[in-house]
Structure 1
Amino acid sequence: MRNFPAPRLARIILTAALTGYLSVTIINLVGTEPRPPQLLASLGCLGLIFLLQLRHSGSGARRAPVRQRALTLSAQALLTYLPITVFQSQWGAMAGFLAGSLLLLLPSRWAWPAYGAVGLTMLIPPTLEGRSVQETVYLCQSTLLTGLVVYGLSRMAELVQALHETRGQLAGMAVTKERLRFARDLHDLLGYSLSAITLKSELIHRLIPAHPKRAMDEVREVLTISRQSLADVRSVSSGLRHMSLEQELGSAQSLLQAADVDVRVDIRLGKLDQQVDSMLAAVLREAVTNLLRHSRAGSCRMEAVEEAGWVRLSVVNDGVDPAYRDASPDSGSGLGNLRARLRTASGRLTVSRGPADTFRLTAEAPAQPRQGLAAPRRGQRSAQDPAA
């Protein structure tokens, strides 16, 4: 990005090039020793052509109304061809400006034929003057070359301006993306942690009268969860958060057992990619959070299995209220966040309801996504989010 000229510099280069062509024409005209009225008139025409060309080379010229473009192009054509009757070949360089303007303002199917036609018209003045074939061809060629230079520099200035604006937009998008990452990570982390703290606090409240010793044990666990939550928030702010699926399975099992849920865990994992490990751990946290918030589960089965280079995490629980619907504005944002994350690692998330008010959440991802494994060929389940 640093190698591209700034928009202002691009416009300066364009203006300098146009001024250079203009000065060459002025030198040629002075060499013909015109009378003062003719010289003043020619300078006035050159000034008008220069202003018109600056307008045609502007970034918004192509988007101008058709009538306006037709008017300015017609004016430039008159200022180009009328002085040729007086100055002949010495005025021919201005035809290059007209050729460039035609390329800039007309649709492609008309622009290039018109551009070629302007170049061919420049064969006429030197022929009428009796100049050599070389001089005749040179005037035609220089006209076409000038048109290309004008067109190229004008487009360059426009593209540099667009690039400069896009860079600002990309910077804004990067900030927005980082904000979304921060909000998503906080949701994944604190939703689970706060649910665990709430559940254990309710348990402590029930245990204090009859089992104060066990209540103290639960208080220590709440303190541990609180400290871990604080550490997680700090790691989110630095963007260096890493979670372990196996550790989260153990934590989830302990938490659900404290809520009197019968838990069965099946873990058959190898070495996982760090990104996949953290994503599946976040999926598990969201699944447990939803289970505690939206169901009266009596049993839960959690399975984490690696097969054929793919990792499958499955959480199945009962106790789902079939009439439950979460109407809050943030309903479903957790699962939506997780789906977006899994897609970045070529994975997928599916949820479904089964018989007897059961709920199943399944997340699949390649164990080593850098290997570019193909997705499993088995039929994909419905990805519709039930209200759970």
Structure 2
Amino acid sequence: MPDTFRSMESSGGAGDSPPTSSRLALAPRLARAIVLLVLICYCSIIILNVLQTGGASTTKLTVCVCIVLLEFGVQFALASPAARTWPLRWRLVTLGVQAVLTYLPAAWFGLDWGSMQGPLAATILLTLPNRVAWPMFGAVVAASPVYPLLKGSGGLYSGYVFSSVTLAGLVIYGLTRLTDLVTELHDTREQLARMAVTQERLRFARDLHDLLGYSLSTITLKGELVNRLIPTRPELAADETTSLLLVARQALADVRLVSRGYRDMSLRDEAESAAGVLMSADVRTEVDVRVERLHPVVDTVLATALREGVTNILRHSKAEVCTIKATSETEAVFLTLVNDGVANGGEPETRSGGGSGLGNLRTRLTAIGGELTAGVDEEGLFRLVARAPLQPRKGEAPAGTAADAPDAERSAA
């Protein structure tokens, strides 16, 4: 138990060791690096197109490089996942700036500037709602060969510009969205790791309470009994001491089992044990368990419910008579625990610290498709009824509910 709990604490609650977290963090950085590399390649293509004419002056080349770097810098900023949360006004301003940087320099650089419409097409898809973005994307792509045709470049070059703009727009858009997905996946894995640690801590707390609450209450009861018997009946005190040691050893074994998972329990065995403990506490007990062989999960949950009910009787009530009954029907099995130890008119006993036992049981029963009811009936008796299906439903208990049960439910008066 301590080793498992310390291992969770040492991870800082993140659910992963530092090397694993480092590997996970590498994925978003790699995705961003790929986007940056692709944008640098497109930058180089535009600059090389201007250089290949052979007549570009130093001034013209400098202006070309500055505009290309500015436009692709904006494009790289848009590749960040945070850009998807920008206000619409900022996105429209960014789109307007990029449109100016795309179309205005075309008058100076001519046909060599045509493929710059690809990043603009990608920006449209990244900044505008889909119902508007895709028609505008189609319009930009469809208009891309118009200028080369007007310049008399012919259909072959116009087709090249059309394909280049379409490819650039889709590639930049696709890589940017892929980067978003990689980042979301990374964040989701971190959240799942934290949730796994939280679930394990809740399981640990539930199992520790449910397993040890009964054993510690029994040890306390038998210790008080031994203390009373030593002066008058030492032989019986010795027998009770032996029984106390057996319970203590079982409690120690339960603590070890908590770190590995909840152990299987038997409703029938638990009923026999509960009857012996209650009779040691001078509680007349009637046991009637008429169930066939149960599914191990159902058997364990009902045995846990019985253990918690008996624990509450020992801790919180002044019962003199207790009835334990278990019956099975066509699709469900019912466990009923009734006692006459209602204190304070049915209000919770305040002298003992509150626990989360009934909340734990409700969580366990709900997880397998069952339910738990507990309260004072019309006869003034405290009645706990646990219903469980014969075949448990697959599922897992929701986190955080075990400790949220009202204090009134914790009284087994």
Q: Same fold (TM over 0.5)?
A: yes
Select 1:32's aligned residue among 18, 41, 53.
Answer: 53
* C-alpha distance in 2 between matches for 1:260 and 1:110: 79
* Residue number in structure 2 paired with 1:385: 409
Answering whether residue 289 of structure 2 is matched by residue 271 of structure 1, we say no
Which amino acid is the alignment partner of residue 282 of structure 1?
T
% identical equivalent positions: 48
Answering whether residue 35 of structure 2 is matched by residue 11 of structure 1, we say no
Q: Contact conserved, 1:5 with 1:160, CA < 8 A, in 2?
A: no
TM-score (norm 2): 0.85
Compare 152-161 and 136-145 and name the one that shifted more: 136-145
Cα shift readout 1:206-260 (whole Å, capped 9, x = no counterpart): 2222222111111111111000000000011122522221111111000111111
1:329 and 1:204, CA in 2 relative to 1: closer, same or farther beyond 3 A?
closer
* C-alpha distance in 2 between matches for 1:371 and 1:311: 17
* Residue number in structure 2 paired with 1:158: 180
Q: Aligned-pair distance for 1:159?
A: 1.5
Q: Contact conserved, 1:347 with 1:366, CA < 8 A, in 2?
A: yes
Answering whether residue 232 of structure 2 is matched by residue 210 of structure 1, we say yes
Select 1:97's aligned residue among 94, 100, 119.
Answer: 119
* C-alpha distance in 1 between matches for 2:208 and 2:356: 12
* C-alpha distance in 2 between matches for 1:68 and 1:247: 69
Which amino acid is the alignment partner of residue 165 of structure 1?
D
* Residue number in structure 1 paired with 2:103: 81
* C-alpha distance in 1 between matches for 2:353 and 2:124: 55
* C-alpha distance in 2 between matches for 1:312 and 1:109: 57
Partner SS for 1:369: coil
1:168 and 1:110, CA in 2 relative to 1: closer, same or farther beyond 3 A?
same
1:34 and 1:326, CA in 2 relative to 1: closer, same or farther beyond 3 A?
farther
Q: Contact conserved, 2:323 with 2:339, CA < 8 A, in 1?
A: yes
Cα shift readout 1:309-362 (whole Å, capped 9, x = no counterpart): 422211111121225335699745111111111222122212132134211111
Partner SS for 1:260: coil
1:122 and 1:327, CA in 2 relative to 1: closer, same or farther beyond 3 A?
farther
Q: Which runs of 5+ in 1 are unaligned?
A: 373-382
Output the aligned Cα RMSD.
2.6
Answering whether residue 237 of structure 2 is matched by residue 228 of structure 1, we say no
* 1:201-350 aligned within 5 A: 201-239=223-261, 241-321=263-343, 322-325=345-348, 331=354, 333-350=356-373
1:386 and 1:199, CA in 2 relative to 1: closer, same or farther beyond 3 A?
closer
* 1:71-220 aligned within 5 A: 71-220=93-242
Q: Contact conserved, 2:291 with 2:327, CA < 8 A, in 1?
A: yes
Partner SS for 2:365: helix
Report 1 or 2 for greater relative contact order, CA contacts < 8 Å, sequence distance ≥ 6.
2
Q: Contact conserved, 1:332 with 1:385, CA < 8 A, in 2?
A: no
* Residue number in structure 1 paired with 2:390: 367
Partner SS for 1:272: coil
Select 2:76's aligned residue among 41, 44, 54.
Answer: 54
Q: Aligned-pair distance for 1:195?
A: 1.0
TM-score (norm 1): 0.90
Q: Aligned-pair distance for 1:371?
A: 8.8
1:371 and 1:31, CA in 2 relative to 1: closer, same or farther beyond 3 A?
closer
Q: Which runs of 5+ in 2 are unaligned?
A: 1-19, 396-405
Aligned length: 378
* C-alpha distance in 2 between matches for 1:371 and 1:198: 37
Cα shift readout 1:78-112 (whole Å, capped 9, x = no counterpart): 11111222233322222111111121122223322
Which amino acid is the alignment partner of residue 148 of structure 1?
L
Select 1:21's aligned residue among 42, 47, 50.
Answer: 42
* Residue number in structure 2 paired with 1:375: none
Cα shift readout 1:102-148 (whole Å, capped 9, x = no counterpart): 21122223322322232233132122112334543442343233212
Partner SS for 2:180: helix
Q: Contact conserved, 1:351 with 1:386, CA < 8 A, in 2?
A: no
Compare 326-335 and 93-102 and name the one that shifted more: 326-335
